Amino acid sequence: MDAAALWQRYQDWLYYHEGLGFYLDVSRMGFDDNFLQTLQPKLDKAFKDLAALENGAIANPDENRMVGHYWLRDPDRAPSPELKQGIIDTLEKIETFVHKVHDGEIRPPKAPKFTDLLSIGIGGSALGPEFVAEALAPDFPPLAIHFIDNTDPAGIDRILTKIRDRLASTLVLVISKSGGTPEPRNGMIEVQNAFAAQGLDFAKQAIATTGVGSNLDKTAHSQGWIATFPMEDWVGGRTSELSAVGLLPAALQGIDIRAMLAGAKEMDAATRIPDLKSNPAALLAVSWYYVGNGKGEKDMVILPYKDSLLLFSRYLQQLVMESLGKEKDLDGNNVYQGIAVYGNKGSTDQHAYVQQLREGVPNFFATFIEVLKDREGSSPEIDPGITSGDYLSGFLQGTRKALYENNRQSITVTIPQVNPYTVGALIALYERAVSIYGFLVNVNAYHQPGVEAGKKAAAEILDLQTKVVQLIQQEGKPMYLSQIAEKLGATEDIEPIYKIVRHLAANDRGIALHGNLGKPNSLTVSTT
Ligand SMILES: O=P(O)(O)OC[C@H]1O[C@](O)(CO)[C@@H](O)[C@@H]1O
């Protein structure tokens, strides 16, 4: 396309939302009218399905659940007065609680005020709060946030070491919808140990956000934690950032959560319009469908040109991949759907992987996130008439152009600045784009059956470990791996047994390996 035609296409397809100061440019995606006409019936159905979802349909049939994250920012849309009141009450509870913490009315037993917030959670119970903290936390927040989002002992130590002198003034927030996920449970127990070691009363410094009646909820109540906040059955983990999961830690850090909700509500209204050109979420979903043939054939590379949006791609990775990455469609056919998401930030990535994007395997499309405002206040000139922000803006334009010239397609999302209002809007935009795309490809975007297989296998490994250790202790003499496997009636598990004992031996856990470490069959295993 020559420059004039491209400029025309840019203007024809440019979406602008005045209230949000938000632009979406899909002109560098190659769809044509023919494609759009063919897709229109599916898109019309997706709009209808989405309207039904918002009205309280069981949009997650496998789990027999409603999907209600859109009600969180517009409680009037909740399908019953009770649900509406629940949303309003939780928001008020969060605000009252946060006010009291900031004022020192709710305070730790051995310090005048809480200074730090330690958030323990994983997946949807971590990625949203992490993204928002990185994007929006003030430089000197009332409570400085730290995250434990794994069961990595060294990672836990790193955080606990960082805050060890302020543990007495640290508020611990355990987030888990199910209240039974191993990683946050392990993190919680390790943090409880750290509190005990300093003679601190964990319960007097702990709060939880979890499903009502979950194990975590019961623990928090029986131990007398300061407070618990509900996570509703109809909010999925990966769409929970604008529920208590994300709002509570955000508010504790001094972030304006009402503005986040208002931005999301505004974007929800814009993305509810059943017309492609007037609906930025539909424009995204249709672009994704086009570029990947409705089968996720191209990866989504997220390139925000703003340091504070660094974690947006990690956040989107779960939102998109856990929602869309499905073996079966809603009719039970094997479809192996999904869109792979990765990214980091520009212009940093230009010096990492943009080389491959421009010239290598063309298996992706890029999404540039552009922020118009460079910084608060004025910028010094780096070259005559040129600032650092001009460079950043120039690099974005340059990379977009260079990719296009080599037939690499891209979308550009433009926001006026990074603030609670625009971040709320971005979250809502992608939540709804995922909903629409899910309907376009006919998958249940709200369950995650594939995660269960790995969890189950891990639990079996831990059971096997207990048996292996008991056997080695009982035998009291070195044994070959094959002997262990045979005695346990687990000959098929010889490889996991080897990995278990190798891990224990590396961690002074009373197990030793003898023989050639490079030849597992030669090894004998004993107690130390
Ligand atoms: O909040 P929970 O129940 O601890 O779950 C954490 C995460 O685990 C998953 O269930 C599976 O990865 C996610 O969907 C969820 O966000």
What is the tens place of the pLDDT at every residue in 179-209?
999 999 999 999 999 999 999 999 999 999 9
Q: Which of 183, 232, 322, 370 is catalytic?
A: 322
Q: Is 176 in the pocket of ligand 1 (CB under 6 A)?
A: yes
Q: Is 123 in the pocket of ligand 1 (CB under 6 A)?
A: yes
Distance, CA of 59 to CA of 57 (rounded, Å): 5
> Which residue, judged by its Cα, is nearest atom 9 of ligand 1?
123
What is the tens place of the pLDDT at every residue in 158-181?
999 999 999 999 999 999 999 999
Q: Is 448 in the pocket of ligand 1 (CB under 6 A)?
A: yes
Ligand 1 centroid to 186 CA: how many Å?
15
The predicted structure's pLDDT at residue 311: 98
Ligand 1 nearest atom to the CA of residue 245, by list position = 1
Q: Quick one: what percent of the chain has pLDDT higher than 70?
A: 100
What is the tens place of the pLDDT at every residue in 467-523?
999 999 999 999 999 999 999 999 999 999 999 999 999 999 999 999 999 999 999
Closest CA to 414 of 136, 27, 70: 27
The predicted structure's pLDDT at residue 400: 97
Q: Does the reported pTM lie above 0.95?
A: yes
Residue 367 contacts residue 413 (beta carbons within 8 Å) = yes
The predicted structure's pLDDT at residue 452: 85
Q: Is 187 in the pocket of ligand 1 (CB under 6 A)?
A: no
Predicted complex ipTM: 0.98
Q: Is 181 in the pocket of ligand 1 (CB under 6 A)?
A: yes
Residue 136 contacts residue 168 (beta carbons within 8 Å) = no
What is the tens place of the pLDDT at every residue in 383-442?
999 999 999 999 999 999 999 999 999 999 999 999 999 999 999 999 999 999 999 999
**pLDDT bracket for residue 287 (50, 70, 90):** very high
Q: Is 520 in the pocket of ligand 1 (CB under 6 A)?
A: no
Q: Is 128 in the pocket of ligand 1 (CB under 6 A)?
A: no
Ligand 1 centroid to 451 CA: how many Å?
9
Distance, CA of 282 to CA of 430 (rounded, Å): 10
Q: Is 177 in the pocket of ligand 1 (CB under 6 A)?
A: yes
> Which residue, judged by its Cα, is nearest atom 11 of ligand 1?
451
* Ligand 1 site-directed mutation target among 174, 177, 188, most atoms within 8 Å of CB: 177
Ligand 1 centroid to 317 CA: how many Å?
14
* Inter-CA distances, 521 with 466, 485, 512, 526, 528, Å: 22, 12, 15, 15, 20
Q: Quick one: what percent of the chain has pLDDT higher than 90?
A: 98
* Ligand 1 site-directed mutation target among 326, 448, 452, 456, most atoms within 8 Å of CB: 448
Crossing angle of helices 257-270 and 244-252, rounded to 10°: 140
Ligand 1 nearest atom to the CA of residue 181, by list position = 4
| Mean pLDDT confidence for 370-389 | 98
Q: Is 238 in the pocket of ligand 1 (CB under 6 A)?
A: yes
> Which residue, judged by its Cα, is nearest atom 16 of ligand 1?
124
How many helices (H) and strands (E) are present in the chain, helices listed first? 17, 14
Ligand 1 nearest atom to the CA of residue 237, by list position = 16
Ligand 1 centroid to 9 CA: how many Å?
42
The predicted structure's pLDDT at residue 454: 87
pLDDT above 90: residue 149: yes
Sign of CA dihedral 81, 82, 85, 87: negative
User: Helix-strand-coil percent breakdown of the chain, rounded to 5?
Assistant: 55, 15, 35
Ligand 1 centroid to 180 CA: how many Å?
9
What is the tens place of the pLDDT at every residue in 207-245?
999 999 999 999 999 999 999 999 999 999 999 999 999
Residue 202 contacts residue 191 (beta carbons within 8 Å) = yes
Residue 114 contacts residue 167 (beta carbons within 8 Å) = no
Look over the chain and give the mean of its residue pLDDT values, rounded to a whole number. Answer: 97
Distance, CA of 433 to CA of 287 (rounded, Å): 10
* Inter-CA distances, 299 with 230, 287, 350, Å: 35, 12, 17
pLDDT above 90: residue 455: no
What is the tens place of the pLDDT at every residue in 102-112?
999 999 999 99
DSSP assigned state of 452:
H
Ligand 1 centroid to 494 CA: how many Å?
31
Q: Is 235 in the pocket of ligand 1 (CB under 6 A)?
A: no
Ligand 1 centroid to 184 CA: how many Å?
10
Q: Is 494 in the pocket of ligand 1 (CB under 6 A)?
A: no
pLDDT above 90: residue 453: no
b/e map 253-279, b = 16+ CB within 10 Å: bebbbebbbbbbbbbbebbbeeebeeb
* Ligand 1 site-directed mutation target among 63, 122, 210, most atoms within 8 Å of CB: 122
Closest CA to 252 of 141, 127, 92, 139: 141
**Residue 455 appears among annotated catalytic residues:** yes
| Mean pLDDT confidence for 262-282 | 98
What is the tens place of the pLDDT at every residue in 333-345?
999 999 999 999 9
